[in-house]
Amino acid sequence: MTDDEFSASADDPGAADETHDADAGEQLDGDGAAQDATEPQDADTTAASSGEDADDGAASPDGEDADAEASSAEPSVALDEFHDALEDAGRPVVTASEVGRSLDHSQAEAVDALDGLVEADDVRRVDVETDPVVWYPAEWGELADRERVVPFPKRREIVVDKPTQFTRAQLSQFAHLADVSGNEAYRYEIRKEDIWQAPYDSFDRLLKTVRQVLPERLDGLEEWIEDQWDRARQFRLFTHEDGYTVLEARSAELMGNVARQKLDESQLRAPISDTESWVAEGSEAAIKRRLYEAGYPVQDQRDLDEGDPLDISLRMNLRGYQSDWVTRFVDAGSGVLVGPPGSGKTVAAMGVMEAVGGETLILVPTRELASQWRDTLLAHTDLDPDQIGEYHGGEKTVRPVTIATYQTAGMDRHRQLFDQRRWGLIVYDEVHHVPADVHRRSADLQASARLGLSATPIREDDREKEIYTLIGPPIGTDWDALFEAGYVQEPEVEIRYVPWDEETYQDEYATAERHEKRQLAAANPQKIEEVREILADHPGSKALIFADYIDQGDALAEALTLPFISGEMPHARRERLFSQFRRDERDALIVSRVGDEGIDLPDADLAILASGLGGSRRQGSQRAGRTMRPSGKARVFALATRGTTEEEFARRQLQHLQSKGVRVREVDSELDDGV
CB atoms within 10 A of CB 419: 12
The pLDDT value recorded for residue 532 is 93
- Rounded to an integer, the average pLDDT of 7-27 is 36
pTM as predicted: 0.52
Query: What are the residue ranges spanned by the domains of the chain?
Result: 3-39+74-140, 147-230, 233-296, 320-478, 489-668
pLDDT reading at 365 higher than 60 = yes
pLDDT reading at 316 higher than 50 = yes
- Taking CA atoms, 547 is separated from 36, 519, 544, 615, in Å, by 72, 11, 10, 12
The pLDDT value recorded for residue 510 is 73
Longest Cα–Cα distance in the chain: 111
Query: Which sign does the torsion angle of CA 468, 471, 472, 476 carry?
Result: negative
CB of 315 within 8 A of CB of 380?
yes
- Rounded to an integer, the average pLDDT of 505-530 is 81
Q: What gap in Å lies between CA 614 and CA 460, rounded to an integer? A: 11
Q: What gap in Å lies between CA 378 and CA 391, rounded to an integer? A: 17
- Rounded to an integer, the average pLDDT of 323-335 is 86
The pLDDT value recorded for residue 636 is 84
Residue 571: name the closest of 390, 393, 388, 391 by CA: 393
**311: region left, alpha or beta (phi > 0 left; psi from -120 to 50 alpha):** beta
CB atoms within 10 A of CB 341: 21
The pLDDT value recorded for residue 304 is 63
Question: How would residue 30 be classed by pLDDT, with cut points 50, 70 and 90?
Answer: very low
- Taking CA atoms, 335 is separated from 471, 476, 613, in Å, by 6, 10, 31
Quickly list DSSP for 548-610.
-SHHHHHHHHHHHT--EE-TTS-HHHHHHHHHHHHTTS-SEEEE-GGGSSS---TT--EEEE-
Residue 223: which residues within 8 A CB-CB, separation 6 or more? Answer: none
CB atoms within 10 A of CB 630: 15
CATH architecture of structural domain 489-668: 3-Layer(aba) Sandwich (3.40)
Residue 555: name the closest of 568, 545, 544 by CA: 545
Question: How would residue 312 be classed by pLDDT, with cut points 50, 70 and 90?
Answer: very high
Dihedral, CA atoms, 205, 206, 212, 213, nearest 10 degrees?
A: 170
The pLDDT value recorded for residue 145 is 56
CB atoms within 10 A of CB 185: 15
Fold of 3-39+74-140: Arc Repressor Mutant, subunit A (1.10.10)
The pLDDT value recorded for residue 464 is 54
Q: Do the first three CATH levels of 320-478 and 489-668 match, i.e. the same topology?
A: yes
Q: Which range among 173-187, 215-229, 280-294 has the greatest average pLDDT?
A: 215-229
CB atoms within 10 A of CB 83: 19
What backbone phi and psi angles, to 5 degrees, belong to 45?
Answer: -65, -40
Query: Which sign does the torsion angle of CA 268, 269, 270, 271 carry?
Result: negative
Q: Per residue in 89-118, pLDDT tens? A: 766 777 888 888 888 888 788 888 888 888
Number of residues that make up the chain = 675
The pLDDT value recorded for residue 354 is 94
Helix (H) or strand (E) holding 353: helix 345-356
CATH no., domain 320-478: 3.40.50.300
Across the chain, what does the average pLDDT equal? 75
The pLDDT value recorded for residue 65 is 45
Percent of the residues in the chain that have a pLDDT greater than 90, as a whole number: 21
What backbone phi and psi angles, to 5 degrees, belong to 434?
Answer: -60, -45
pLDDT reading at 226 higher than 90 = yes
Question: How would residue 377 be classed by pLDDT, with cut points 50, 70 and 90?
Answer: very high
Question: How would residue 231 be classed by pLDDT, with cut points 50, 70 and 90?
Answer: very high
The pLDDT value recorded for residue 566 is 83
171-175, 220-224, 381-385: segment of lowest average pLDDT: 171-175
Q: Per residue in 172-183, pLDDT tens? A: 889 888 877 655
CB atoms within 10 A of CB 498: 25
- For strand 26-28 and strand 34-36, is the pairing parallel, antiparallel, or unpaired? antiparallel
Q: What gap in Å lies between CA 71 and CA 184, rounded to an integer? A: 46
Buried b / exposed e over 288-310, threshold 16 CB at 10 Å, is bbbbbeeebbbbbebebeebeeb
Partner residues linked to 94 by β-bridges? 135
